[in-house]
Amino acid sequence: MLRTTQFENVRLLTLDDPARRNPLSPELVRALLAALDQAEREEGVRALVLTGAGPAFSAGADLEFLRQVTSASAEANYAHAQELMRLFHRLYTFPKPTLAAVNGPAVAGGAGLASACDLVLMSEGASLGYTEVRIGFVAALVGVILVRAVGEKHARELLLTGRMVSAQEAYRMGLVNRVVPAEELLGEALALARTMAANAPSSLRLTKELLAALPGMGLEEGFRLAALANAWVRGTGDLAEGIAAFFEKRPPRF
């Protein structure tokens, strides 16, 4: 269901149910949450890459779950929604860099999973769509992230039409950072993750906290938070090492 592979200081998480197109089942949601907790604890993990096994990234909701959702109790549905909310929030605010390598269709919750990562790479033949409205669902949790990622107009188009978009169109909208040939996707994703992982952990963590907080702040409040962050980071060991390495003309040892 979830396969873990280590490449130096980058951990690759592979959604591993290719026969069913890697659905975002309740079991997978729990497995991803556990994997994120473990990756945060391990100092040897400095960045995460998320991808799918087989021809799809993730087809979204599990079909068995969809059959049961309308007959489940309000309490059960709310518990499931909360667990999915925890996953998206956890991934979006994860203190280490995250990257989605979208190798095929990323649909509904699967598209949301990719969008919650810091960076998104897509293979040239991949597609992505927030298709919930086409079956009477609402991309509510995903919408929180999507509006931040692409702005209101693009978010409205994607959420109200429910259409799938190509990798090239997703790039033009700002949904993804790079579009690469399929055979180069994983290699480029790992290389980019290594680039991020080489930076100071405390700087990465604080930068991600700022990026999460600033969109909801006014100008003055944002600058005050930025000034506090600027002052706080000056007392870290990472900055001391970075400055020493700069003057000694050597790579820093973070």
Domain boundaries, the chain: 2-197, 201-248
What's the first-to-final CA gap in the chain, in angstroms? Answer: 33
**SS3 per residue for 173-218:** HCCCCEEECHHHHHHHHHHHHHHHHCCCHHHHHHHHHHHHHHHHCC
Cα separation, 194 vs 78, in Å, equals: 38
> Which residues touch 184 (CB under 8 Å, ≥6 apart)?
none
Q: What residue ranges of the chain have pLDDT lower than 50? A: none
Residue 90 is predicted with a pLDDT of 97
Give the residue from 134, 126, 130 showing the smallest Cα distance to 149.
130
* Domain spanning 2-197, CATH architecture: Alpha-Beta Complex (3.90)
Whether 40 is catalytic: no
Please give the model's pTM, rounded to 2 decimal places: 0.94
Element (H, E) at 42: none
Per DSSP, what are the bridge partners of residue 58?
A: 106
Q: Which of 132, 152, 183, 220 is catalytic?
A: 132
Residue 65 is predicted with a pLDDT of 77
